[in-house]
Amino acid sequence: MQLDVLVNNLLSAPVLFFFLGLIAVLAKSDLEIPQPVSRFFSIYLLFTIGIKGGEELAHSQWNAEVFLSLLLAVFMSAGVPLYAYFFLRRKFNSYDSAAIAATYGSISVVTFISAVAFLKEVNLDFGGHMVAAMTLMESPALIVSLFILKNTIKSDSAESKVSWAKLLHESLVNSSVFLILGSLFVGIVASEKSHNELAPFTEGLFKGFLALFLLDMGIVAAKRISALAKGGVFLISFAIILPLINASIAIILSYFLGISHGNAFLLAVLSASASYIAVPAAVRLTIPEANPGLFVPMALAITFPFNITLGIPLYYFITQALWT
Amino acid sequence: MQLDVLVNNLLSAPVLFFFLGLIAVLAKSDLEIPQPVSRFFSIYLLFTIGIKGGEELAHSQWNAEVFLSLLLAVFMSAGVPLYAYFFLRRKFNSYDSAAIAATYGSISVVTFISAVAFLKEVNLDFGGHMVAAMTLMESPALIVSLFILKNTIKSDSAESKVSWAKLLHESLVNSSVFLILGSLFVGIVASEKSHNELAPFTEGLFKGFLALFLLDMGIVAAKRISALAKGGVFLISFAIILPLINASIAIILSYFLGISHGNAFLLAVLSASASYIAVPAAVRLTIPEANPGLFVPMALAITFPFNITLGIPLYYFITQALWT
Amino acid sequence: MQLDVLVNNLLSAPVLFFFLGLIAVLAKSDLEIPQPVSRFFSIYLLFTIGIKGGEELAHSQWNAEVFLSLLLAVFMSAGVPLYAYFFLRRKFNSYDSAAIAATYGSISVVTFISAVAFLKEVNLDFGGHMVAAMTLMESPALIVSLFILKNTIKSDSAESKVSWAKLLHESLVNSSVFLILGSLFVGIVASEKSHNELAPFTEGLFKGFLALFLLDMGIVAAKRISALAKGGVFLISFAIILPLINASIAIILSYFLGISHGNAFLLAVLSASASYIAVPAAVRLTIPEANPGLFVPMALAITFPFNITLGIPLYYFITQALWT
Amino acid sequence: MENMYKIEIVLGSLHTEALLEILNKKGISGYTIIPHVKGKGDRVEYDGLGLNDAFSNNYIIIVVDEEILQKVKEPIRNFLSKYGGACIISDCLWLKQ
Amino acid sequence: MENMYKIEIVLGSLHTEALLEILNKKGISGYTIIPHVKGKGDRVEYDGLGLNDAFSNNYIIIVVDEEILQKVKEPIRNFLSKYGGACIISDCLWLKQ
Amino acid sequence: MENMYKIEIVLGSLHTEALLEILNKKGISGYTIIPHVKGKGDRVEYDGLGLNDAFSNNYIIIVVDEEILQKVKEPIRNFLSKYGGACIISDCLWLKQ
Ligand SMILES: Nc1ncnc2c1ncn2[C@@H]1O[C@H](COP(=O)(O)O)[C@@H](O)[C@H]1O
Ligand SMILES: Nc1ncnc2c1ncn2[C@@H]1O[C@H](COP(=O)(O)O)[C@@H](O)[C@H]1O
Ligand SMILES: Nc1ncnc2c1ncn2[C@@H]1O[C@H](COP(=O)(O)O)[C@@H](O)[C@H]1O
Ligand code: NA
Ligand code: NA
Ligand code: NA
């Protein structure tokens, strides 16, 4: 039965379309999703996750476990860069290390979506506040990484200019965070009638747009993967080992904090996931010295596919063993 | 209960997304809807309104009231510029006055949609011909405004070149009018089976795309609002008072012509609304001397939000008091 | 009753939107579908056809008739250029002849979709493998045409460079073929639950997106039609006569091979249809000397509308007379 | 290679067709248009944002010889003074095929 | 017609706003931006592909006189050395309206 | 600042990859591509309209020194004579970082 779960996950339409995208590039197909269309897909996904998350949030109970899991979410996002950075410094310069640390402390929305779909498949409950937890994990990692960077390199003119106020502001209003937060808010205040009217759009189309978005991600991942060649085995192992470590820590802490099975699993997935949209854009602005040929393909072409194929079932088996 | 109506209107998902768009820009978020995506939304909305309007038109009775309301629609669109122009000339040059007059004589499709949604919320009937009425109101205002402009300024070489035939043609084939008219036609001739097949697209997705389109409108409105600063209080008051005057005239005339409650309300909303898509584009071509920093933000950033938040409930209360 | 079928076909929403697009351009409307949106429509259509085709393929029986119809599909695609080329050479140079021959040997996905919708309308069954048959017909025509071209013109430096391996590869991975094949594969392996989750996207939206895509095709067809003027009556007659010949041959062969009514009809439509997306792009690369002002508008502005309005009912009446 | 002039015009998208019609009559042999261009000059900012093309520029490039250049200079200047936009002219070599 | 200089800058989309802010302070009178430009130089390839703008360039065109050119040269050089990008300068004639 | 040459090529989108492959072999150090460009010359009009890229141009900009210029001139000419397109060359100064 455990193999079933793994195979079902691998054969789900969105996962297959990700691989279709990879294959398209490797087979030198000219298949490409125009950028505005790609943006439309991600606007749709963020809008829908926000609206549905808001609906669930409005119906969920606020108890100690909820607060603990939100706290743990922030803790993981801020904590991951702390150990990742020093681990990375053995192989990379300060800039690249900080950039990669920020990437892995933050989260991937599509990985989260896949985990939620997985939970529904295996009939395991989770809290309505987990979309909020995800949103809370978007930004702390970048702030912590910049803080480390600033304190480890001798602050010369350029670096000393980091404006923390600007950074905090930016982390709240960057387009992904803003659209999810805004849609979350609308989802909370909207009436049941409103939700019903939106349902054919938000629920009906979700799987279709998700599959197309993953097709696009597969294409982009494959185009960026060649840049990894220089990084070699270390880079690729790192992109798989770090998620495993992050998930393990999240699972252990969840266990001792008494967080429920479903929420612990999602926190593990979020901690294991790495950002390849919002954080890379922010890193280009704040750490222009870092090589985007490293941190983007690591997150997008190694960690993301690892998580949605093997990682998610694996984190599930571990939590299942502990929680039942 | 009246407050309820107002609050429900303010808390509807599309209205909230308009404000989300405004806030995004004010909070300096980088959230933006790529232009092709924005076009897709408006193509979808025009297509859907046309198809659904055609379906309703095919089932509606043609009686005296229908003809009277169509006539009143054209009358309002042509009449508004007549008084608006001379009112505006006190503060603006001829070109800007004509451009603003044309903008306010014409209509806003999204305002009309919001009014229709409002009617459904309060369970008030309206005629299947009102989409046709709306379409009839798109163009007369621009023609009248150009006519006034040509007759008030000493016609030198450039202005005397206005070709009325070209203008009439243009007003029938400009993309918004053409797409609505065409979809209206398809909606009329399509079989019931056809309409059922299209329903998941036209009806199912409507609220979702409307919300996203309003998000975009909010963003654009906020980006254009700074241009209003120069115009000051006069401009902003004008952008609220003129709609009130237009709606009042439409209501009074409807009342004496014996037009039904629902139709009168929609005619008031249409008269009060101002164009920020089709007419501004046409004005750039026909009155290049006019400053688009005035007429676009007035319609988009002041009149539109005023109408969809306060105007619509207000026009409803007034008509309700008169009709019942 | 036969007239009914014809009229219903002409009044279906997608056909009407094609004419709306034509009229838009002829009436000099500025209505245009931005290219990324147009791409989105075609990605949606290919995705959906693949997924649904895969679902049907998974449920269909593999018997002799299936293999025969797949074989006939390839035979028609490879055979059409053989006679078309020499027919065309009477009026056109070698390059243009080869380009047009390739265009007419290949197929049009939207024509196929219209034929399938037509079959559902008249309640006639067809095999789940016909989407596969369509995909098999995409490429052979181009390969055969290039082969003829290479063997008829004295091979000088440029032409002798045709790399057959590259060409075969290209014909398998060009974006349309790749996306249909990939989606077909996902459609085959996806669970019934998966198909149900995708249905609101794939089935619910199909007619709507098809109508909008045809609107776009109408616009593009009309913009390209002027280029045909030079070709004159010969070109236009050719663009109608060749489909008729191709359909007739497909019908006769199907009849003698014992292929079922529905499949024979679809093979006739596929043989009669001409490519205006995938093949023109491939021809620009492989036969740059050919004039795209000929082969694109012939397929898009003459053959396509002929097939979806008159051709499809006609091929149906002929097959009906033979098969019943 | 031939000595030619490169005319670059930034112009509101809505006005491009009219200008090209004028220039075609003056005998230009071709043109290139880069659509969806943003910009800011003396007039309103062209931010290329949604809804319609009223706030979007085209970047038009026209390669001409000396003779055509002299013919089109005034018409372009007149057109731009009415509809806004900018125009620069520079030398270039045309790589003849 | 006036003798002017045309500055062309290829720059990551995310950095454009910051550069224009600097140049506006130096007194440039306008600018034109061609968005969604791809390219390759010494650093990572900008393939303009989906997801975000981190791999997309802007092509910025700024027409200036000699005086402003001298003022902006160094700031542009400094900016590009930090954020990547390329810049070329050439002569042109500005067709005054 | 260095004296360089700016090569501008308008070319059908479908042919861009092949040309860049040739030029990369000749040693160009970088390139910039503006996609979705429309145009009209001696051949068919490139209106950039939907369905596929067959009617859409790319605008390619390549900055080279004198030596590379001499190396790429003939290959570009040959390529364009087969696949259509236009090419102009002009002087420029490269603002070195
Ligand atoms: N100095 C400049 N450098 C580059 N582009 C300019 C300059 N001035 C104006 N433009 C462009 O020309 C357009 C129209 O200018 P204007 O009519 O002055 O508003 C602007 O939107 C810019 O794209
Ligand atoms: N030789 C060149 N010719 C044209 N564009 C270039 C050249 N070198 C660099 N670029 C452009 O400048 C951008 C940034 O260059 P770089 O910072 O060197 O990676 C590239 O993405 C290209 O668009
Ligand atoms: N005189 C010209 N000025 C600017 N662009 C041109 C000119 N002639 C040709 N072009 C561009 O080059 C492309 C190919 O030209 P052709 O191969 O002559 O059709 C056209 O689509 C235009 O974009
Ligand atoms: Na993480
Ligand atoms: Na009005
Ligand atoms: Na065919």
Residues of F in contact with E86 (CB under 8 A): 30, 32, 63, 94-95
The pTM of this model reads: 0.96
Quote the minimal CA–CA distance from B182 to chain D in Å. Answer: 19
From the CA of A192, how far away is ligand 4's center (Å)? 33
Contact call for residues F55 and F44 (beta carbons, < 8 A): yes
Mean pLDDT computed over every residue of chain C: 93
* Helix, strand, coil tally for chain C in percent (to 5): 80, 0, 20
Inter-chain contact C201–A200, Cβ cutoff 8 Å?
A: no
Identity of residue B11: L
Rounded Cα distance, E3 and D89, in Å:
10
- Residue E1's pLDDT band (cuts 50, 70, 90): confident
Using alpha carbons, list the distances in angstroms from residue E62 to C300, D37, D83, E38, F24: 42, 13, 20, 19, 29
Rounded Cα distance, B286 and A237, in Å:
64
Quote the minimal CA–CA distance from F20 to chain D in Å. Answer: 17
Task: Give me the residues paired with residue F46 across strands.
Answer: F39
- What's the pLDDT at D44? 85
Inter-chain contact D32–F10, Cβ cutoff 8 Å?
A: yes
Nearest CA to C101 out of C267, C289, C299 is that of C299
Q: Which residues surround ligand 6, an ion (CB under 5 A)?
A: C 271, 273
- Residue B128's pLDDT band (cuts 50, 70, 90): very high
Q: What DSSP character marks residue A230?
A: G
Contact call for residues D95 and D1 (beta carbons, < 8 A): yes
D73 φψ region: left (φ > 0), alpha (ψ -120 to 50), beta (else): alpha
Alpha helices in A258-311 (DSSP H): 261-272, 278-286, 292-297, 304-306
Mean pLDDT computed over every residue of chain D: 94
Inter-chain contact A293–E14, Cβ cutoff 8 Å?
A: no
- What's the pLDDT at C154? 66
Q: Degrees (nearest 5) of the Cα angle D7, D12, D13?
A: 95
- The CB of F63 under 6 Å from ligand 2? The reply is yes
What is the Cα gyration radius of chain A?
Answer: 19
Inter-chain contact F51–C277, Cβ cutoff 8 Å?
A: yes
From the CA of A230, how far away is ligand 2's center (Å)? 21
Identity of residue C3: L
Mutation to probe ligand 2, out of E40, E61, E77, E83 (largest number of atoms < 8 A from CB): E40
B196 φψ region: left (φ > 0), alpha (ψ -120 to 50), beta (else): alpha
- What's the pLDDT at A127? 94
Rounded Cα distance, E84 and E72, in Å:
17
Rounded Cα distance, A192 and A197, in Å:
9
- What's the pLDDT at C159? 47
Exposed / middle / buried, residue A111 (Cβ in 10 Å: 0-12, 13-18, 19+): buried
Measured from the Cβ of residue A179, the count of other Cβ atoms closer than 10 Å reads 22
Say whether the ipTM exceeds 0.85: yes
Using alpha carbons, list the distances in angstroms from residue A19 to A217, E78, F12: 9, 42, 30
| Helix C206-225 with C109-121: angle, nearest 10 deg | 130
Exposed / middle / buried, residue D30 (Cβ in 10 Å: 0-12, 13-18, 19+): middle
Beta-strand runs (E) in A224-270: none
Mean pLDDT computed over every residue of chain B: 93
Least confident of A293-307, B39-53, B150-164, F71-85: B150-164
From the CA of C272, how far away is ligand 6's center (Å)? 5
| Helix C35-59 with A206-225: angle, nearest 10 deg | 110
Rounded Cα distance, C180 and B175, in Å:
33
Rounded Cα distance, F39 and D7, in Å:
14
Contacts of B179 (CB under 8 A, 6+ apart): B43, B46, B47, B50, C31
Contacts of C217 (CB under 8 A, 6+ apart): C18, C21, C110, C276, C300, C304, F51
- Residue percentage of chain C with pLDDT more than 90: 81
From the CA of D89, how far away is ligand 1's center (Å)? 14
Both tokens assigned to A40: 């439309």
Using alpha carbons, list the distances in angstroms from residue A266 to A12, A139, A302, A311, C64: 19, 18, 20, 12, 51
Using alpha carbons, list the distances in angstroms from residue C79 to B3, B12, C85, C172, C278: 73, 60, 10, 19, 19
Rounded Cα distance, E88 and B178, in Å:
45
| Cα–chain center distance at A233 | 23
Q: What DSSP character marks residue A126?
A: -
Using alpha carbons, list the distances in angstroms from residue A39 to A137, A185, B38, C38: 22, 22, 11, 15
- Best probe of the A interface among B15, B20, B114, by most A CBs < 10 A, is B20
**SS3 category, B29:** coil
Is any Cβ of chain D less than 8 angstroms from the Cβ of E52? no
Query: What value does the mean pLDDT take over residues C210-232?
Result: 90
Q: Which residue has the tokens 């270039």?
A: D92
Residues of F in contact with D17 (CB under 8 A): none
Rounded Cα distance, A41 and B14, in Å:
19
Is residue D10 within a helix (H) or strand (E), and if so which, with residue range?
strand D2-12
User: Is pLDDT of B220 > 60?
Assistant: yes
Burial A50-75 (b: 16+ CB within 10 A, else e): bbbbbbbbeeeeeeebbebbbebbeb
Contact call for residues C118 and C90 (beta carbons, < 8 A): no
Q: Which residue has the tokens 């006609």?
A: C314
Both tokens assigned to C176: 């349309």
- What's the pLDDT at C324? 86
Q: Degrees (nearest 5) of the Cα angle C281, C285, C289?
A: 105
Nearest-CA residue for atom 9 of ligand 1: D41
- What's the pLDDT at B239? 96
Both tokens assigned to C116: 């399938």
User: Is pLDDT of C1 > 60?
Assistant: no
Contacts of A248 (CB under 8 A, 6+ apart): A268, A318
- What's the pLDDT at A156? 53
Measured from the Cβ of residue B145, the count of other Cβ atoms closer than 10 Å reads 31
Both tokens assigned to C62: 């593999």
Q: What DSSP character marks residue E90?
A: E
Cβ-Cβ contacts under 8 Å between C and F: the total is: 51
- Residue B23's pLDDT band (cuts 50, 70, 90): very high
- What's the pLDDT at B262? 97
DSSP C108-172: -HHHHHHHHHHHHHTT----TTHHHHHHHTSSHHHHHHHHHHHHHS---TTGGG--HHHHHHHHH
**pLDDT, one tens digit for every residue, chain A (324 residues):** 478 888 888 889 999 999 999 999 999 999 999 999 999 999 999 999 999 999 999 998 889 999 999 999 999 999 999 999 999 999 899 999 999 999 999 999 999 999 999 999 999 999 999 999 999 999 999 999 999 999 887 655 454 566 888 888 888 898 999 999 999 999 999 999 999 999 999 999 999 999 999 999 999 999 988 878 777 888 899 999 999 999 999 999 999 999 999 999 999 999 999 999 999 999 998 999 999 989 999 999 999 999 999 999 999 999 999 998
Identity of residue B65: E
- The CB of F43 under 6 Å from ligand 3? The reply is yes
pLDDT one-digit tens code per residue, C50-60: 999 999 999 98
pLDDT one-digit tens code per residue, B148-207: 999 887 655 454 566 888 888 888 898 999 999 999 999 999 999 999 999 999 999 999
pLDDT one-digit tens code per residue, C157-215: 454 566 888 888 888 898 999 999 999 999 999 999 999 999 999 999 999 999 999 99
- What's the pLDDT at B156? 53
DSSP B160-219: GG--HHHHHHHHHHSHHHHHHHHHHHHHHHS-HHHHHHHHHHHTTTHHHHHHHHHHHHHH
- What's the pLDDT at A6? 85
Inter-chain contact D33–F39, Cβ cutoff 8 Å?
A: yes
